[in-house]
Amino acid sequence: MRVFINKLKWMFLKVILFSYYGFLSFRDGIKIKKYQNIVHKKEYNGQKVMLLALYEKSQLRSDTVELLKAAKKQDIYIIAVNTLKLKPECYFPELIDIYIERENYGRDFGSYQTGMNYFYKSKISESCSRLLIINDSVFFSLKGLDEFISQLFSTDLEVLGATENSQHSHHLGSFCVSVCGNIARDKKFENFWKNYKSSNVRPLVIKRGEFALSKLLKSLVSSEQQFKSLYNVLLLEKKLKSDPYILDNYFYFRREGDRAWSNKNLLNYFEEDRILKSFLDDYISKCKLENRDSDYVTKKDEDEKEINYIDFLSFISRLDYKTVPFGNILQEKLIALYMEEFTWGSQIHINCLIMHYLGLPIIKLDLLFRCVCNMNDLIKLRDQLDESQQDEFMALMSTRLCGDKFLVGFNRLAYQHGIL
């Protein structure tokens, strides 16, 4: 009964918070002065198009400039929409073909809507063969960036996202979605942007924007095989089977953040799964027989023994699946375990370390804020980056710390209910 009452209280509080922040969004929608300033524009000559939603003040971030440079190397026509204002000397007309500034309302989908309305009004849609919709809620890593842009624009797939998300409903991450020209010209796609209703309330933006966009794109593709993400569980399986280093060291690429999409200690899986535990027990027994107890095993008493985590890592990283009895079974179990973890929630958050290592050059900026990663995860990510980007990365990521720890009052409650 107490559990039921607590759930009712939680739901009631969520309704109050949603109503409050919904009212603030409605008020802002009325009070904020609507404007759309086309700062500069260049003639369109039939190139493929990138629509970039920005939230950057005074000057562009260095990693954003690297994205623009990578796109320009491939002759991409760039439409950038910013909800803040840049200094005139930071407009980058040599990199940005259409630069628009607008009011700070509606989050990324509000900027997408502005850019897409310009895309149709200026008739760019009529000859555009490929459109990439992307925003700066991610850090753009130099490693693999050129290839990433090439993959998104050269693909024959009708819809291709960077990553996908299985939380609530299967959808592509709206921070990076590439569509073919036929879909970009489809009247239903055009009407989606014309009729989109902006809001500052995060759950509404996710529902009306991210979820609804994926649902629409799924309905527009010619087959299910035409709706995919670049970095998915099938790619992970292929890499785990083809690259022994990744499989042997996958424990290093597992994040440690434990507040969102909690991660078990890898040793716990071995202790709880009878099949995995049998391999670990066999390893301990062999260590004892070889008189190497002091190096690997700590005794509680003569009848009880346990293995510590460091020794467990020695075991998991030294495995030779070809010589270990029934090693193929252990290998299959581990690959399946890693694949299952990979599919939890927002995959770009859950798998940030392994995805970047495999070549995904975008890293969500809210990894700490969403409490998905901790500082150790962040350090491991930083060490994967090009040295020239490491300091900027750490500075950007640490501006918003775990909301569940550092937000207070109403904002903390709103965060816990997914509204912030």
Kindly report, residue by residue over 363-393, the tens digit of the pLDDT. 999 999 998 899 999 999 999 999 999 999 9
Residue 213 counted as domain residue: yes
Both 145 and 264 in one domain: the answer is no
290 domain residue, yes or no: yes
User: Percent of the chain at pLDDT above 70?
Assistant: 92
How many domains are contained in the chain?
3
Residue 407 above 50 pLDDT?
Answer: yes
Please tell me the predicted confidence (pLDDT) of residue 345.
84
For 123-205, list the strands marked E by DSSP.
130-135, 138-140, 159-161, 164-165, 171-172, 176-180
Same domain for 279 and 139:
no
pLDDT at 297: 47
Average model confidence (pLDDT) across the chain: 89
Residues 126 and 151 sit within 8 Å (Cβ to Cβ): no
- From the CA atom positions of the chain, what is the Rg in Å? 24
Domain boundary among 167, 199, 230: 230
pLDDT single digits (tens) 82-137: 999 999 999 999 999 999 999 999 999 999 999 999 999 999 999 999 999 999 99
Residues 254 and 369 in one domain: yes
In tens, the pLDDT along 211-220 reads 999 999 999 9
Whether 155 shows a pLDDT value over 60: the answer reads: yes
Name the residue with higher pLDDT: 289 or 394: 394
Do 141 and 62 form a contact (C-beta atoms < 8 A)? no
Residue 322 and residue 394 in one domain: yes
Q: What tens digit of pLDDT does each residue of 332-345 get?
A: 999 999 999 899 88
Mean pLDDT across 199-209:
91
Query: Are both 210 and 299 inside the same structural domain?
Result: no
Q: Using an 8 Å Cβ cutoff, are 123 and 371 in contact?
A: no
149 in a domain, yes or no? yes
- Number of Cβ within 10 Å of residue 218's Cβ equals 15
- Domain co-membership, 248 together with 397: yes
Residues 6, 57 within the same domain: no
Q: What is the pLDDT of residue 289?
A: 59
- The CATH number of the domain holding residue 127 is 3.90.550
User: Which residue range(s) make up the domain with 400?
Assistant: 237-404
Residues 158 and 47 in one domain: yes
How many angstroms separate the most distant Cα atoms in the chain? Answer: 81
Residue 127 inside a domain? The answer is yes
Residues 206 and 355 in one domain: no
* 3-class secondary structure, 82: strand
Q: What is the pTM of this model?
A: 0.90
Helix axes 233-242, 327-342, angle to 10 degrees: 150
d(CA 397, CA 417): 22
Beta strands (DSSP E) in 88-150 are: 98-102, 130-135, 138-140
Residue 199 lies in a domain: yes
Same domain, 118 and 210: yes
Q: What is the pLDDT of residue 296?
A: 44
Is residue 297 a part of any domain in this protein? Answer: yes
- Predicted confidence at residue 403, as pLDDT, reads 86
pLDDT computed for residue 305 by the predictor: 53
- Whether 389 is in a domain gets the answer yes
Which of 230, 258, 292 is the last residue in one of the domains? 230
Do 194 and 288 fall into the same domain?
Answer: no
Task: Give domain status of residue 91, yes or no.
Answer: yes
Domain termination residue (choose one: 187, 211, 230): 230
The verdict on 220 and 331 lying in the same domain is: no
Q: Is pLDDT at 417 greater than 80 in this prediction? A: no
Per-residue pLDDT reduced to its tens digit, 274-283: 888 888 888 7
Round to the nearest angstrom and report the end-to-end CA distance of the chain: 30
